[in-house]
Structure 1
Amino acid sequence: MTATPPKPWQPLPKGVFTGTNWSQPGATAGEDPYLIWAESDHFAGYRLGHGHKPPKWVPIVIELTAQASVQDLVDASSTRWLQIPKVYVEVNLPTLRYCTARVRSAFFKHLRHNAHLRSLIQRYELGLPVGHHTHAIKNPCSKDGLTHLTQEAPSPGDRLTGKVLGVIDGGLAVANATFRRKQGTGATRVQYFWRQDNYYGGPWPGQATHGHREVPLDPERAGPIPDDMGYGHELTGAAIDEAIAQFTHNGQLDEEALYAYLQMWDLSRPVNHGTHVTSLAAGAVLPLNPQHDEASRVNLVAVQLDWSNVLDTSGGAMNVSVLDGLMFILARCADSAQVVVNISWGTLAGPHDGSSILEAAMDQLIELRNGQLKIAVPAGNAYQSRTHANATLQPGQSLPLNWRVQPDDHTESFLELWLQDGAEGVEIAVTPPGYTQALPVVRMGQSGLWMGEAHSQGSGAEPVCALIFPTSSALGTQGTCALLALAPTFSHRASVTTAPFGRWQVTLTNHGENAVTLDAYIERDDVALGQNTGAKQPYFEDALYDTSGNLEAWVDHPGNPTPIRRSGTFNSLSTGQRTVSVGGTRREADPTSPVGPFALYSPQKPDPDAGRPQRPGVKKVPDTLKPSDDNSALWGVLGTGSLSGSVVRLAGTSSSSPQLARDLINDW
């Protein structure tokens, strides 16, 4: 520890993409702090940084104002700087207030100077500006309505009717016997399959390469670009069946050769998350557990998330890709179809009150479909991860949070501090590892960059961290969110600026006249199944938090004063008003156990810490429960592996959610 004070905060820069001077008073209000951080470090978290030009296009998700429509936004803009997939005007949802877009820097210039355009947009969030997400889309919405030759969306007569299961996930084995008719030997039930990638092996956050291994997907094999989405590749059921026939010899399908032909090389791995999840939701000839219910016969519409989503577990592109995926599914179904969608994905940070743009968009889609759409989502797996803290600060009270950032973390780390309305008197002080003195306090409406010490700076001298504390945030509609963003703690490249690992102390002090309730959420930063990204999950430390591993140590005790709380650790996609969140249980459980029937990693119902003060509207309890473990010794549940006839076991509420989706299909 050194008694030398750390170098002071530096002002936020003028944005390299937006052109916004973020250091001006009020400039951060109502904006996305992740976009501000990306501009502050020259998109270094997306493998750019000093010496590299910013992206030509960036993906965003947009919420429109109350009386605006997507068509109004199209009419007020130009495809030279704002490109919206056609699905958002072609689907019969004229009052939809949410859409995604690719934007150029000129969009932000027009937004600053065009009052009419500004009156249409309530807020927007950054997606994941890597790979093809930084390119223009094909045939976007335009004022003249002209179209070009691409794969057209299905005509009304080709859209699916009756009950349909939609899945948004990664790694779906479309030819697996469990998704085929006639006991696994007939046509595929996957009637539409959209993979959001344009390349295989492209760049993603934290990657040690610059995407030089990326392989463009061949539309003759992976399918054409869907006209209404403008990117990715679509296969119809007929195209999948044709490929199955091509690789079937003497009645046996060579699945590995088929997937190599379709450029789905990820399916060479024995386990794929999307295949396991979809088998639980709609599998038919499940090994060891054959199903003969209605869900085993329904048509499927599958969206395979861009692999940058799968690899970036912080969910940087989740808002854009999931909303696009939902729109693709709805566009392939008739208005009368009864559609259940399972999204077994998620992140940890966010407002947790349903006011994020994606959650609000899902709620409106469910509302606009008038009971014809249901969405199942997992409650999350981070109950024991120490990624959530909750406290109420009385006037004059301080709260130190010890944020343990791990060594050898190749990805950026994020801590969100959510404060209820009326928290103008709260100040935040940050003490980096190795220092006894904190950086100068930051008050609401203020922000700063810390450049660290010379040894931590790469050749571009990017900031080590940023604290962005706006009066309001695009991430939610209640209170505000202060974001503490950190550079990676390690890189193989000498040009990359790194942050010190160890304990970052974040102290909040309430100088106001009223008590303030707050939640701190560490964003997800782990490694997805079968990947190796160099991510390391940070966590909170506190001497009063029970890590003994005793039977009573797996749940919160209301009398324990530690601010680290399992309760409130919840999937940030799952706190909407109309989606259905699903927690995980054990099929066989000891009723006398302190944790009862619950999987140790899942939020519980009822909440054992329900009496603790909470910000308005925060959701901490799953809507319903489904098994995700067989018992205390045998975690996970059995589902289908990548190849037909194989069985794999995966744990997590990602396995609970599709079981609920199956019930929704069967019981409709």
Structure 2
Amino acid sequence: MTGWKQCAQVPRWGQADWEAMQGVASPGPDGMSRIVPAFLKVAPTGGLDAAAMLALLSQIGQLGGRLTRPEADRLASALPPPGESVAELRLVIHLPRPKLDELAQLGAVLHVGPPVALPLVPLTEMSQPGENLQLDGAAPASTPILGVIDDGIPFLHARTRRGAAASRIAAIWLQADARVPAAFGAGLVRIGRQLDRGDIETMLASGETEADIYRRMNRSLLPVTQRASTNHLLSHGAQVLDSAGGADPFAATDAGLRDVDILAVQLPPAAVADTSGRRLDPYVVMGLRWMVTEALRLCRARGGPVPLIVNISMGSLGGPGTASAFLADWIAHEMDRYRKLSGAGPDDPGLRVVLPYGNSWRDRLVAKAVVRPDQPLKLTWRLQPDDHSASFLELRAAGDTAGLRVSVTAPDARVPPLSLAWDQAAQGWRCNGPSGKPRAAVLPLAETPTALLLALAPTERPGGGEVAPAGGWQIEVTAAPGTEVSVKAQVQRDDTPAGYRLLGRQPWLDHPAGWTWDGEMRGYLDPGAGPVTRKASAAAHAGIDRPGALTVGALRQGAPVRPSTYTAEGGTPGSAGPSLSAIADDGAILGGRLTAGVLSGSSARLSGTSVAAPAVVRRMIERLLTGQGIELGDLIGQAPGPAPDSRRGYGALEGQRAWSASGE
């Protein structure tokens, strides 16, 4: 039956429910049921002792749940000694999707990741993660560790070495699609491969070229249909890693940086290609958990707490924009965990995480309005043709939704109009096509009943299947008499990263009152007086609220130095602006900053808050190596004011040098 109908059961998991409706969570072609990564928080009254933790794991095992090897390693570090307990335990569990409701009875399911089919065929290369990390000499405990989580990490690059053949990379996790290889361990899921320093140095000594090693590793881990970034001339991860901690392997001027060990996570291509963050956030969280565990091993090897500075130059849009957002909340948890287990002092975060503030200032993705009976929120959500991925729009009400009504009108009759009270819409509705699968759906978002998710199928499916009409979708929120509620609409990111095969094409919001003259951009691009706004355009993680967590905006060289034309703007209760800003563009014409390519000796330019963040990380490392402070005031050279500028933050990173023809 086509047309809108209410879901048989009230959806609970947002985009995971949309995937289930599309059949993504049904049995795979090999007959194996698809499983999902579930992010579980257990915090019972009285805490958990070791026996309670083991009993919990037994219950999870009975549901068909599995752990990754890094998760099992992390759990070992969480077991309290006899007679003690922990107030909270967090786990990443891979289990069949139909078991989610039973898992939710054991604790709070904070997030459900995208499904994967398990088991699959074994990998062509097998290796167990090493339990011990090799150290080159007795590095002092105060020498920091650099962590980088990104796409396409060139782990053989000369700028990550000490001399010709000694690697600074203590360990790297090359993530890939989940598998359960034979003989890998009962109940364990394998996600890619981990290399330690010894593995990397063996490769360096083999005489094989960097390019050949990368190709061989990528063939063993990734399907040929996925982009292996280290097979190409440049990658986002190569540029970020070099910006954050790259050093000449021989120059005396870089001797301090060469003492800094590196932990790295290479994200799977499928997670990077899906810019909505649906696949990205789960892998970032798993990578950070692994990184914290490996850094704790280095702490034990060095005999004391070690500062860990992690750069995550990735991000998505949408979400509540506060510290409760999934990625922001879990990063804060890992920061607390590292401080506790590393032995850092009470005023020392131990782990510091630096993130980009976002690049979506001009992308027309946010609208805000106070909805009254005489002032509805009316928007046109423009979907592009040839969009091979689903599109999502979030509606969030900052208060009681009683009296609000939501209407959706498609650009053609394939999807009939829908008009429902907000609370009724939150029960879940779907509009099926002839196949019985939905072209569109209205779903509740898991974290709050005051948030709705409008999901649309791709506008193009080369292999067949239901599609949503491209064009202008009319979205309207109205209020009954006596109702006055602030409502925010935000389009989730849906573009295709540079170098990847076309997947998404970014939809945007439009309004008749928009688009006045923008003097800087020399076009009719300013949102004007309508509800579409550039405020609140920051990344989903921008509301993170922890000492040691910094968000970074981008600046452009010029007279005067000004925010880059893409750098996001604050404007939510959880994020008034970035922590600080750093130069990410050498000028209006010469965009980006000069960084390393994938292969040793190559170079490329990278622009965006993605390159501003590692500039801050590099400065923090340099200051630690010389015994200087790395608090926010130390980095900007002045005491932070009472509130940040909405795009610049509390100030600019002090001491950055301008680009010249001879380089920095």
* TM exceeding 0.5: yes
- Aligned pair 1:567/2:544, yes or no? no
Contact map agreement 1:430 1:507 (CA 8 A) in 2? yes
Alignment correspondent of 1:274? 237
Matched, 1:307 2:293: no
Residue in structure 1 matched with residue 437 of structure 2 by the alignment: 462
Alpha-carbon distance change, 240 to 7 in structure 1, aligned in 2, over 3 angstroms: closer
Going from structure 1 to structure 2, the CA distance change for 1:233 and 1:535 (only over 3 Å counts) comes to: same
- 2:321 paired residue among 332, 335, 352: 352
**Cα deviation, residue 181, structure 1:** 0.9
8 Å CA contact 1:351, 1:572 repeated in 2: yes
Distance 1:158 1:507 in 2: 60
What is the CA deviation profile of residues 529-585 of structure 1, one whole-angstrom value per residue up to 9, with x for unaligned ones? 211133100001123322645327799989x42111111111112321122111111
User: What amino acid maps onto 1:256 in structure 2?
Assistant: A
Contact 2:149-2:266 within 8 A present in 1 as well: yes
2:146 equivalent in structure 1: 165
With a CA cutoff of 8 Å and minimum separation of 6, indicate the structure with the bigger relative contact order.
1
C-alpha distance in 2, partners of 1:442/1:41?
25
Matched, 1:625 2:620: no
Letter paired with 2:458 = P
Residues 1:100 and 2:81 are matched in the alignment: no
Report the CA distance shift for 1:286/1:293 in structure 2 as closer, same or farther (over 3 A): closer
SS of 1:354's partner is coil
Q: Which amino acid aligns with 1:567?
A: K
Q: TM-score with structure 2 length normalisation? A: 0.78
Asked if 1:197 corresponds to 2:167, the answer is no
Q: Report if the CA contact (8 A) 2:593-2:605 is conserved.
A: yes
What is the CA-CA distance between 1:332 and the residue it aligns to? 1.0
- Aligned residue for 1:464, secondary structure, equals strand
- CA 1:7–1:155 in structure 2 vs 1: closer, same or farther (change >3 Å)? closer
Distance 2:524 2:109 in 1: 37
One-letter identity of the residue aligned with 2:419: P
Distance in 2 separating the partners of 1:566 and 1:401: 15
Distance 2:57 2:481 in 1: 44
TM-score by length of 1: 0.78
1:464, CA displacement in angstroms? 0.6
1:28-67 → structure 2 map (5 Å cutoff): 28=11, 31-43=12-24, 55-65=33-43, 67=45
Question: Helix, strand or coil for the counterpart of 1:82?
Answer: coil
**Cα offset for 1:628?**
1.2
Checking the alignment, whether the CA contact within 8 Å between 1:88 and 1:99 is kept in structure 2 is no
**Alignment-derived partner of residue 125 in structure 1:** 111
1:107 aligns to what SS in structure 2?
helix
Give 2:316's aligned amino acid: T
Q: What residue number does 2:430 align with? A: 449
Cα 1:408/1:620, change in 2 over 3 Å: farther
Partner of 1:175: 156
Shift of 1:442: 4.2
Aligned partner of residue 202 in structure 2, secondary structure? helix
Paired amino acid for 1:267: T
How many Å separate the matches in 2 of 1:100 and 1:337? 26
1:392–1:517 Cα contact (<8 Å) kept: yes
CA 1:603–1:511: 2 relative to 1, 3 Å: same
- Contact 2:318/2:491 (CA < 8 Å) preserved in 1? yes
CA distance in 1, matches of 2:44, 2:532: 38
Note if contact 2:372-2:478 (Cα within 8 Å) is conserved in structure 1. no
Runs of 4+ in 1 over 6 A off after TM superposition: 48-54, 134-138, 156-160, 216-219, 224-229, 552-558
- Greater per-residue strand proportion: 2
- Given residue 357 of structure 1, which amino acid in structure 2 is its aligned partner? F
Q: Residues 330, 71 of structure 1: CA spacing in aligned structure 2 closer, same or farther, 3 A cutoff?
A: farther
Deviation at 1:242, TM superposition (A): 0.5
- Which residue number in structure 2 is paired with residue 647 of structure 1? 603
Code of the residue aligned with 1:74 in structure 2: it is L
Q: Distance in 2 between matches of 1:178 and 1:547?
A: 47
Pair 175,105 (structure 1): closer, same or farther in 2 beyond 3 Å: closer
CA distance in structure 1 between the aligned counterparts of 2:261 and 2:55, rounded to whole angstroms: 34
- Write out aligned runs for 1:362-441 (5 A): 362-370=331-339, 371-395=349-373, 397-434=375-412, 438-441=417-420
Letter in 2 for 1:486: L
Cα deviation, 1:217-267, whole Å, max 9, x if unaligned, reads: 999xxxx9999874320111111100111026xxxxx22223233337532
- SS class of match (1:256): helix
Pair 1:110 & 2:73 matched: no
| Equivalent AA in structure 1 for residue 197 of structure 2 | G
For residues 514 and 481 of structure 1, the distance between their equivalents in structure 2, rounded to whole angstroms, comes to 17
Count of residues paired in the alignment: 575
Contact kept? 2:38, 2:109, Cα under 8 Å: no
Distance 1:666 1:66, change over 3 A: farther
Report Cα offsets for 1:200-223 as digits up to 9, x if no partner.
Answer: xx9xxxxxxxxxxxxx9999xxxx
Match of 2:591 among 632, 635, 639: 635
